[in-house]
Amino acid sequence: MENVNSLSDECKKQKDAFFFILRRIILASCVLLLFFILNKYEQNSKNEVINAFKNGNEVICNSSIVSIKNGYEFEKNREFFVTNGVNIFNLKRCVLK
């Protein structure tokens, strides 16, 4: 009878350990999924700002209104930077107006 109880206790310990590890794996997977979704959202947001600038719309960079109409153009050899000869802005850090 004592042998059966020790087997039962051993099974409970293994079961508890299994579910503890399973919960950790699920939690880690959820956190990774959350970071992945936030990263995709951020990339889409940056692409919208760049496309808006290319289409002639105004965007806001460091409390300045930046647009092609205001004399801003893409800087040579720098993909996401725009300049008007005086100020230089990174479009990835700008927001839509």
Nearest to 27 by CA among 15, 38, 19: 19
Q: Which tens digits make up the pLDDT trace of 9-23?
A: 888 899 999 999 999
Length of the chain: 97
Q: Decide: 94 and 49 in contact? Cβ < 8 Å.
A: yes
Give CA–CA dist 89/81, Å, rounded.
Answer: 6
The band of 2, judged by pLDDT with boundaries at 50, 70 and 90, is low
The range of the structural domain enclosing residue 91 comes to 2-96
Task: Quote the number of domains for the chain.
Answer: 1
Q: What is the mean pLDDT of residues 70-79?
A: 87
How buried is 90 (Cβ within 10 angstroms: 0-12 exposed, 13-18 middle, 19+ buried)? middle
**pTM of the predicted model, to two decimals?**
0.66
Residue 58's closest CA among 45, 67, 50, 71? 67
